[in-house]
Structure 1
Amino acid sequence: MKNEYYSTVALYLRVSTREQAINGYSIHAQENKLKRYLKDQKIKYDDLIIFADEGFSAGSTNRPDFLRMEEAIKNDQIDLVLATKLDRISREPVDLELFFRVCQLHHTDVAAITGEIKIDTANGRFVTGILSLISKWERETTKERTFDTLVEICEDGLFPYGYTPYGYKKTNKKLFIDETTSQIVKEIFSCAESGNPLELISKKIKILYDTRIRSDRIGTILSKEYYYGKFVYGGKSYYNIFPAIISKDTFCNAQAVRKKRYHAIQNKNFYFCNQLRCTCGSILCRRLTKKKNKRYYYYYCPECKKRINQDRVIEELLPDLLRHADHKSLSKELKYYRRKHKYLSDRIERLYEDYIGGQIDGQVYAFTLSKLSADRDSILKKINLKCSIGFSDFYVMTNEARYELMETYVSHVVIDLKLMVIVKIAMK
């Protein structure tokens, strides 16, 4: 190759990991080495093109600059491809063979400066094939050894990686629960289980613990099974590496709520997302029906097979919502009615708790709930007359603004779908 002339020379550079860069395989180091080789060998050329794929493995040829280089070869724009080693191009013999065929078809030389291997002769192609097989063997052997070592570490009940997962502390690869950050992990799962969006969880953690955790990292934390003690490596589950911070039920409930939020109907005509619950404990699903060109929005319990209209929920919830939002300009009489409404709502909530606690039977519960609900409806009518401004503010809002209002203030609402009555309201 010494003293040869090429119209266009392409330098192909690739590095896959930070460790390779540290060991001298960086893009910059490869470029300097190839340019030095061209100078030492007195190879002349008119144009020099550099193709560099940083952060890509040699296990696949689906790399942006490699594909651009291959396209340039097919267009007869390159006369020589030069790399530091053949494994910069690929470690797969099949991929190398296909690449060599393209180069031969378009009269493009390929050379690697380590060992001065090139493919323009039968011997060169033979040696190249042997070296690519050896390179693949080395790669797979290294992977197997690494895997076996990490499996042994897991079998010993130790964490196989160098970093320390959030919520834990590590001593000699042994994990222990960190008392401070584990409380934050518990709070994150509790908020997610309650149906809070990631952004709101992030704000809450900042307020409660003065710790800023981005919403995307919160999503990552919520996806980790090891928080309930399960760690998977190599297709095998280990339960002796991570001390459990939460229960498996808490993890599964959080995933179920997140899934519902993800698949929720992206229609802001629904004002609630995972905040409405049935007395049976199920989170109500959103349902849309259409009759005579009119849309109706419902919340449906998959266990009890019953539903409630959104307008009915808003009618009962709105007084508590407006009171919680702290409207300052309330008249004395209106304040009294709102306090009375809150008192009746609290009575209904205590009645519900007594019922589920077995302190009263179903007949007493139904009779008392009907009476309290009627009294609350009566107070609600008076509030509607006195507080038309507050209510009108809500009804002139856009649907998106109403949705944001519920997301901001409402934690969850429990509804008795048999009697169509709100029995518990929890605000944020």
Structure 2
Amino acid sequence: MKLALYARVSTEEQLNGYSIEIQVDKLTQYAKLNDYEYEVFTDEGYSAKDLNRPYIKILLDRLKNNEFDGIAIHKLDRLTRSVRDLQNIVDYMDQNNLKLISLNESFDNTTANGRLTLTMMGAVAQWERETIQERVCLGVKQAALSGKIVGTVPFGYNYDNKTGKVSVNEEEAEVVKIVFNMYAQGHGSNSISSYIFDNYPKEFMNFGNTQILRMIKRRSYLGESITRFKDGTKHVIPNAYPQIIDQDLFDKVQEVYRNKKEVATPRQKKNRRIFTGFLVCGLCGNAICGSASGSASKNTTLSYRCSHKYNRTKCRCSMFNEEELEKAFVEKMVSTLKSVKEGAFDINVSFAKANNKEKLIKELNQLKNKRKKCYIAFENDLISLEEFKERSNEFKQKEEELENEINTLQDVAVPKIFNFECDDFPATWNNLERCDKIALLHDYVKKIEVSKLSYLTTGRRESLVIHDITFV
């Protein structure tokens, strides 16, 4: 008999000394005592509210491939605190004569009474989780209603963890004032972002369009603290922050923002760009977005440009129109399909990333361990609040990126588009309506890496180049 031994701790439990090593030790002792073969799976820093955890997904996938005869856990809530998820797991294991073993609870998932016990335990675990959530939300609401600032203070301010007071960060406040003044004068977010990049320290390098548009809407700079609750209500605390922007300038900026939205050229369905959402710059790796050339009339040329062409990094990729992109795409598809037909296209190499899940999960767990150590260092006053926030946000962002990459990885498979004949593809594409071309891309293509260098950059006339196409 071979068991999958599963252990889990959340971030909060790690801080409270709830060790994953102790769980694994007890589980392995149990397996050895009963002469069971076993394999260990652990998820560190994950909540049990759902099954969106790297190693539980791998465990369940391998369980469905008949690699194990059952699952052993230290306690039921290590597996899940969701009644629905628990019921689905138990139903599957019952149907396939698999064992579910908990070292701390006694039940038999093969009997009616055992399944009832399991369901009740799962319901209690879910109730505990939801009760904790309600208490946290209530605590946040009470803190806000009592006049305390809830959450992270905005850019431009410092928060003293000991005194609970907020002060102005003079260096950041200077940037806030520049953003508001430049926007009031009619500068766009791209122009403001480039100015900040050229004139301020490197820590503001990621100060992009999104951050600027969020900043100009923040009433925090008028001194207000606004807390929004889950029930849709909000609580406003006047004079919670030292004022950085005066009311007249704030109102002027809101007026400019509204006017820009009103005069923006409305999107027309018939002019919808075919390749929007699929293009990545082959020079800098950032997204390529749509850009209208000419007037906003019927003769407008549908074009594309790198999102960082006029941004901080000023990418060298030139603007190109949809007609030349379509031509390059068809040529690239014909050459790719021809390579597949001749056996020169190595599918396994092109889709090797699909086998990279284990490596990414290991990297993710290492990041979670670093975030755990960061918490511990902060709790023991080894690092400041500012350093803790900076490190924690950095780790969290990297974790989210890895989790998204892990979730998008698929098993190696031959892309569906390879069923097309290379000689037939140009005619098939050219006979499609615009909406059908978009639908084809959504069905078969994930990403297109493309670039074009200008005459000024190379000294010669350059054509558009499609470096790579990633297929679904």
Q: Tell me the residue number matched to 2:402.
A: none
The residue identity in structure 2 corresponding to 1:126 is L
Q: Of residues 73, 83, 94 in structure 2, which corresponds to 1:93?
A: 83
- Distance, in Å, in 2 between the alignment partners of 1:296 and 1:223 is 29
Pairwise CA distance, 1:146: 1.3
- Distance, in Å, in 2 between the alignment partners of 1:13 and 1:257 is 54
Pairwise CA distance, 1:24: 3.4
Q: Tell me the residue number matched to 1:146.
A: 136
1:401-423 deviation digits (Å, cap 9, x = unpaired): xxxxxxxxxxxxxxxxxxxxxxx
Q: Of residues 51, 60, 74 in structure 2, which corresponds to 1:61?
A: 51
Pairwise CA distance, 1:192: 5.7
- Distance, in Å, in 1 between the alignment partners of 2:150 and 2:56 is 34
Q: Of residues 236, 253, 261 in structure 2, which corresponds to 1:250?
A: 253
Pairwise CA distance, 1:125: 2.6
- The 1:9–1:157 alpha-carbon spacing in structure 2 relative to 1, beyond 3 Å, is same
Q: Of residues 33, 36, 53 in structure 2, which corresponds to 1:45?
A: 36
Pairwise CA distance, 1:258: 9.9
Q: Tell me the residue number matched to 2:155.
A: 166
Q: Tell me the residue number matched to 2:24.
A: 31
SS at match of 1:231: strand
**Residues 1:20 and 2:13 aligned together:** yes
1:16-59 deviation digits (Å, cap 9, x = unpaired): 4x2222223455453334223434xx12223x233334444322
- The 1:167–1:76 alpha-carbon spacing in structure 2 relative to 1, beyond 3 Å, is same
Pairwise CA distance, 1:96: 0.7
1:313-361 deviation digits (Å, cap 9, x = unpaired): xxxxxxxxxxxxxxxxxxxxxxxxxxxxxxxxxxxxxxxxxxxxxxxxx
- Distance, in Å, in 2 between the alignment partners of 1:243 and 1:396 is 51
The residue identity in structure 2 corresponding to 1:36 is Q
Pairwise CA distance, 1:243: 4.7
Matches within 5 A, 1:404-415: none
- The 1:189–1:118 alpha-carbon spacing in structure 2 relative to 1, beyond 3 Å, is farther
The residue identity in structure 1 corresponding to 2:51 is T
Pairwise CA distance, 1:199: 5.1
- The 1:61–1:269 alpha-carbon spacing in structure 2 relative to 1, beyond 3 Å, is closer
2:4 and 2:68 in contact (8 A); partners too: yes
- Distance, in Å, in 1 between the alignment partners of 2:251 and 2:103 is 56
- The 1:211–1:244 alpha-carbon spacing in structure 2 relative to 1, beyond 3 Å, is farther
Pairwise CA distance, 1:156: 1.9
2:189 and 2:213 in contact (8 A); partners too: no
Tell me: higher relative CO, structure 1 or 2? Use CA pairs within 8 A at least 6 residues apart.
Answer: 2
1:230 and 1:237 in contact (8 A); partners too: no
- Distance, in Å, in 1 between the alignment partners of 2:8 and 2:252 is 46
Q: Tell me the residue number matched to 1:227.
A: 220
Q: Of residues 197, 203, 214 in structure 1, which corresponds to 2:197?
A: 203
Q: Tell me the residue number matched to 2:464.
A: none
Q: Tell me the residue number matched to 1:108.
A: 98
**Residues 1:236 and 2:233 aligned together:** yes
TM-score by length of 1: 0.52
SS at match of 2:299: strand
2:225 and 2:241 in contact (8 A); partners too: yes
1:243-275 deviation digits (Å, cap 9, x = unpaired): 5534255367569869979x999466749xxxx
More strand by share: 1
Pairwise CA distance, 1:124: 3.2
Pairwise CA distance, 1:230: 5.1
RMSD of the alignment, in Å?
3.9
- The 1:34–1:154 alpha-carbon spacing in structure 2 relative to 1, beyond 3 Å, is same
- Distance, in Å, in 2 between the alignment partners of 1:72 and 1:173 is 50
2:76 and 2:105 in contact (8 A); partners too: no
Which sections of structure 2, spanning at least 5 residues, go unmatched?
274-288, 304-453, 458-472
1:195 and 1:257 in contact (8 A); partners too: no
Matches within 5 A, 1:251-330: 253=256, 266=289, 270=293, 287=296, 289-290=298-299
Which sections of structure 1, spanning at least 5 residues, go unmatched?
1-5, 272-285, 298-394, 399-428
SS at match of 2:17: helix
Pairwise CA distance, 1:90: 1.3
Pairwise CA distance, 1:221: 6.3
SS at match of 1:91: coil
- When structure 1 is superposed on structure 2, of 73-82 and 182-191 the one drifting more is 182-191
The residue identity in structure 1 corresponding to 2:4 is A
Pairwise CA distance, 1:137: 1.5
Percent identity over paired residues: 25
Q: Tell me the residue number matched to 1:186.
A: 177
1:118 and 1:124 in contact (8 A); partners too: yes
1:380-416 deviation digits (Å, cap 9, x = unpaired): xxxxxxxxxxxxxxx9648xxxxxxxxxxxxxxxxxx
- Distance, in Å, in 1 between the alignment partners of 2:6 and 2:135 is 30
2:158 and 2:169 in contact (8 A); partners too: yes
Pairwise CA distance, 1:89: 1.7
Pairwise CA distance, 1:186: 2.3
SS at match of 2:296: strand
SS at match of 2:150: coil
- Distance, in Å, in 1 between the alignment partners of 2:87 and 2:159 is 47
Pairwise CA distance, 1:86: 1.3
Pairwise CA distance, 1:108: 1.1
**Residues 1:124 and 2:114 aligned together:** yes
- Distance, in Å, in 2 between the alignment partners of 1:289 and 1:245 is 45
Pairwise CA distance, 1:101: 0.6
Pairwise CA distance, 1:110: 0.8
The residue identity in structure 2 corresponding to 1:232 is T
1:14 and 1:89 in contact (8 A); partners too: yes
The residue identity in structure 1 corresponding to 2:173 is S
Pairwise CA distance, 1:87: 1.6
The residue identity in structure 2 corresponding to 1:165 is P
- How many pairs align? 270
